[in-house]
Each structure stands twice: as structure tokens, then as C-alpha cells.
Amino acid sequence: MTAARYTIIDLGSNSFHMLTVTKQDNGFNIVSKHKQKVRLAAGLNGQHQLDLSTMEKGWSCLQHFRTLLDEIQPICLLITATAALRIAENSQQFLDKAEAILQHPINLISGIQEAKTIFKGVSFTENTEKELLVMDIGGASTELILGQKNHVHVANSLNIGCVTWLDHYFADDLLNEYNFNNAVNAAKQVISTVKAQYSNHQWELTLGASGTIQAVNEVNHAQKLADSLSYDLLQKIKQQCITCQSIEALNIVGLEDSRKPVFASGLAILIALFESFDINSMQRSKGALREGLISMMFSGQTQFD
């Protein structure tokens, strides 16, 4: 008898993800996972309208996901949309067709709901009693969550993302000190609006839960630049980016081709977070939004508050 399958679909601002799992003890087994770089956030114009070509790219991806769903036959399906579709003034146009394709409702979640679900994912996958500061850099938003076990003390979602920062601060394709400084300083300015909320807490561990942090770890693993994900490591990698001079020419040992377009912008945001919160080192989290959604389904929750 085949174990019951649970599927989540995450319509992120950078990538669309589909993850199918089965329950195992206190965790889960991955049955299949699929990812496509749609870069919804890059399709937003100055009036916060998603352009048609980007929407069509997203719908095409979801047609593929629908075919996979017919094969997988999950007993539970949970679909979320995040920052780019929160921002888009014409998001309903995209969501109406997306729901028709997937034949299932899509939860357009708020920034705070996203942040809290990310922390659920961390709590689900990390076996720790420590007070945590969790950071997740997405395509169009960055979530900052402080909490312990299942309790969230502070949660914020900021309008900073590796896709939007690419468009704003690296639009000329150049990797230089000027562009990096502008990107870092702009991110720090946004972070400063919520920074005081975290000052009354003493966290013991900082965890990063995003593609940027994974990419930095992969570069470090390939090059053995540092013992941990530290501020010095970020500066070394930034200098490697600047040596390449442009995003088109970006060639760093350990960096996957798929990450190259948004790597510098994500790195700038990560540097801003380290500087804003005086972080010495960070570990990569095993869980984030998708794992949070899985934990919700396992506990019978398929609706957001």
C-alpha cells in the first residue's frame, strides 16, 4: 500500500516550487520536488503591474505542475503565493487563471503569515531549544523572525528582495563598489524601520533560510574560504563578484548558473542584515516556508488565519 502523499506548491517571487512528501516518524520523506525560475517580481513595472509575458511563464509552469498532480494524487494539497503577488495590482488576473489551471484555491498570504510559516518550518526541522533569529531573503521580500520553539516573539516582512534589488541597484549589470554600496545601504535603511523591535531580545543562534544563503554556503564549500558563514566570508565573496565586473561575466567557483542573475543582489541584502544586527556568523536552516506548510498539513491545518 502506497503511503499517503502531501503536496505543497509555493508561488514565490523568484521561483515556483512543488514539493511532495510522505509522513515519517516526526518528520517526512521527500517523494518528489520540482522548481522553475519564473521570476514573477522581475515582471512588475513601476505601477506594480505584472506584465503578460511573465504571467504566461507562470501559467505554463503551473500547467506542468497540474500534470504532475494528476500523477501524484496527493491526499492533501496546499498552495501559497507570496510577495510579488502581494505587490502586484493585477494579481487577481494571474490568480484566477492559476486556480483554474491547478483546480485548487491559492492562499495569497500576508507578509506576517509568510514570516510565521517560515518559523513553523524552522521549528519543524531544527531540534533546538535555543532562541533563534531567522532570516529568509526571497525574490521580493525578506522575512525576519525571532522566536523559540513554537513561539514567535517578533515577525516582520520587509519589501527587500533579490529580484527587486537586482532591478533597482544592479540594472546596469555592473558589479562594482558603487552598486554594492547603494544596494547595502538601501537595504539597511529598510531594516532600520524594524530593528528596534529585536533589541529587547537576546538570540543564541542566527539561521538563514533562502537560496542566497544556500548559494553562499555552496561557494564556501567549493572554495573553503572560511570555517563558517561569517561577515568576512561575505566580503571575500563580494570582492570575487567585483573582480568579475558584471553579472553577465559572473564566474565564481561553486556558484550555480541558475543563481547568477540574483546572486549579487541577494549577497548585498545579506551583508546589510549582518551589519544591521551585528551578526558574527550564521547557520543555514534546514526548514523554511515549504517545511512550514508541510507541518501545517500534517497537523490538519489547510487554511490560514
The candidate with the shortest Cα–Cα distance to 124, out of 146, 150, 156, 145, is: 150
| Residues 94 and 141 both lie in one domain | no
Helices 260-276, 231-244: crossing angle, 10 deg rounding: 140
- Is the residue at 1 inside a domain? no
| Residues 74 and 163 both lie in one domain | no
Average pLDDT, the chain: 95
pLDDT grade for 2, boundaries at 50, 70 and 90 = confident
| Residues 103 and 185 both lie in one domain | no
- Is the residue at 289 inside a domain? no
pLDDT at 158 over 70: yes
Q: Which of 80, 111, 142 is the last residue of a domain?
A: 111
Which tens digits make up the pLDDT trace of 88-139? Answer: 999 999 999 999 999 999 999 999 999 999 999 999 999 899 999 999 999 9
Q: Per the structure, how many domains does the chain have?
A: 2
Three-class secondary structure of residue 297 per DSSP: helix
- Is the residue at 90 inside a domain? yes
- Is the residue at 50 inside a domain? yes
Which tens digits make up the pLDDT trace of 28-85? Answer: 999 999 999 999 999 999 899 999 999 999 999 999 999 999 999 999 999 999 999 9
Q: What is the pTM of this model?
A: 0.94
| Residues 70 and 214 both lie in one domain | no
| Residues 237 and 184 both lie in one domain | yes
Q: Find the length of the chain.
A: 305
Percent of the chain predicted with pLDDT > 70: 100
Q: Which of 51, 81, 111 is the last residue of a domain?
A: 111
| Residues 98 and 186 both lie in one domain | no
pLDDT at 280 over 70: yes
- Is the residue at 238 inside a domain? yes
C-alpha torsion angle, residues 216, 86, 5, 134 (rounded to 10):
40
Cell 566570508 -> residue: 233
| Residues 24 and 52 both lie in one domain | yes
Percent of the chain predicted with pLDDT > 90: 92
Q: What are phi and psi of 51, to 5 degrees?
A: -75, 155
Q: Spell out the residues 6+ positions from residue 28 whose beta carbon is closer than 8 angstroms to its own.
A: 6, 21, 22, 294, 298
Q: Spell out the residues 6+ positions from residue 18 whose beta carbon is closer than 8 angstroms to its own.
A: 7, 8, 9, 10, 32, 33, 34, 35, 65, 68
- Is the residue at 224 inside a domain? yes
| Residues 133 and 279 both lie in one domain | yes
Cell of 161: 528582495
- The pLDDT of residue 210 is 85
| Residues 100 and 131 both lie in one domain | no
Dihedral sign of CA atoms 102, 34, 111, 74 in order: positive
Q: Average the pLDDT over 269-290 and give the result.
A: 95
* Chain centroid offset of residue 197 CA: 22
| Residues 75 and 155 both lie in one domain | no
| Residues 36 and 78 both lie in one domain | yes
pLDDT at 150 over 90: no
- The pLDDT of residue 304 is 84
- Is the residue at 304 inside a domain? no
- Is the residue at 294 inside a domain? no
pLDDT at 1 over 70: no
- In the 8-state DSSP scheme, what is residue 160? -
| Residues 17 and 164 both lie in one domain | no
Q: Average the pLDDT over 285-305 and give the result.
A: 90
- In the 8-state DSSP scheme, what is residue 3? P
Q: From CA 11, how far away is CA 79, in angstroms rounded?
A: 8
Biggest CA–CA distance in the chain, Å, is 60
Q: Are strands 107-108 and 76-81 parallel, antiparallel or unpaired?
A: parallel
Q: Which domain covers residue 208, as residue numbers?
A: 127-284
- The pLDDT of residue 127 is 85
Q: Which of 111, 135, 158 is the last residue of a domain?
A: 111
Tell me, what CATH number does 75's domain have? 3.30.420.40
R_g (Cα) of the chain, nearest Å: 19
CA distances from 131 to 11, 126, 202, 283 (A): 29, 12, 7, 14
Tell me, what CATH number does 186's domain have? 3.30.420.150
